[in-house]
Amino acid sequence: MYNLVIVGAGQLGSRHLQGLALLNCRANVYVVDKSTASLEIARERFEEVQETGPGNVRVTYLTDIDSLPGCIDVAILATTSDVRRELIVSLTESKNVSYFILEKVLFNRVEDYAYIQNLLEAKGIKAWVNCSRRTFDCYRQLKTLLRHEPSVVLTVEGTNWGLGCNAIHFIDLLAFLSNCTELRLDLSQLDEEILPSKRAGFIEFTGTLSGSFDESHTFRLTSRAGAVTESFLQITSPNYKVTVVEGKGEMLVKRRSTGWREEVFHISIPVQSRSTNKVVEEILVAGESSLSSYEESMRLHIPLIKGFLSKLNQEEIKTDICNVT
């Protein structure tokens, strides 16, 4: 019997729990949240899918981490960024944790990244960050298609899709496609107004965030202010033009070799409630994950948080806390 933990029973944490209902191995799952209302929603969502699973999971709902078992095989931290450092410290001091799966944005202070890296190394704990697009079959196949391309350009456009919260997903995707991690950012085209996030106490950005890896692979991420619309993603190179509409499950591919004739592929975009089980099983069996390693994701997070902080401090806020989550 494995001991698995989810800390944070909100929207994302409850979806992780649904995913664990599909585990093919026996496990005790502990869900922790200070809010009993959130725990009740998580319980209801688990019961929605429990009957379709193999029945290998027993769930316990808790309001504090002190009641967790002493040995934890995998801990999934689905909290907001402002409490994640403290939570990792508390868990590693009081429990024997083998592996972490961490949600993004990792932390809202730059100093937290190296601190937690040093802590994980000292404890011998492996950790990964849930930037999951690199695990999707469609993007893994696209990586193979682009493997000999000298340059790749990734473009995302849409309205109010959460640039501060979600930019790291697309930056991570280009890092995966290009095998690069040396990130440079340009925040000069972000909108001046800093908006409140849908999560109380946090902020959001609109406008355009652009950047590059090794000056050969570039990205441009645009989130316009206004009513939410579906975003679309384009990936281009000298020999390919690819458009991905994840919401429709479509990938449109044009190749120079065929005179740019369009081919339409139907793709599967896994939802969290159908993929957490696979990620956890991979970790339990192999001690590895297809997700971004903590160290790699840290190298992408730090320039992003520094960039957002520079934007905040231009607005005379004067802070070392970037409250994106």
Q: What is the mean pLDDT of residues 288-304?
A: 98
Question: Mean pLDDT across the chain, nearest whole number?
Answer: 96
| Structure-block tokens of residue 51 | 């009957």
Question: Which pLDDT belongs to residue 172?
Answer: 98
pLDDT in tens, 141-160: 999 999 999 999 999 999 99
Q: Is residue 316 predicted with pLDDT exceeding 70?
A: no
At 38, the amino acid letter reads S
| Structure-block tokens of residue 233 | 């993603």
**pTM of the complete model:** 0.96
Confidence at 254, pLDDT banded by 50, 70, 90: very high
pLDDT in tens, 93-135: 999 999 999 999 999 999 999 999 999 999 999 999 999 999 9
CB 91 within 8 A of CB 70: no
pLDDT in tens, 225-242: 988 888 889 999 999 999
177-213: b (≥16 Cβ within 10 Å) or e: bbebbebebebeebeeebeebebeebbbbbbbbbbbb
Question: Which pLDDT belongs to residue 234?
Answer: 98
Q: Which of 41, 50, 48 is nearest to 20 (CA)?
A: 50
Q: Which of 125, 121, 142 is nearest to 133 (CA)?
A: 142
Residue in the structure block whose two tokens are 């441009």: 220
Residue in the structure block whose two tokens are 């005179």: 259
229-237 and 240-245 strand pairing: antiparallel
Cβ-proximal residues to 34 (8 Å cutoff; 6+ apart), any chain: 63, 64
Name all domains of the chain by residue range, CATH numbers in brackets. 2-130+274-290 (3.40.50.720), 137-269+304-311 (3.30.360.10)
Q: Alpha-carbon distance 274 to 48, whole Å?
A: 13
| Structure-block tokens of residue 263 | 């081919």
Question: Which pLDDT belongs to residue 7?
Answer: 98
At 90, the amino acid letter reads S
Q: Which of 314, 307, 316 is nearest to 324 (CA)?
A: 307
Between 52 and 295, where is the model more confident?
Answer: 295
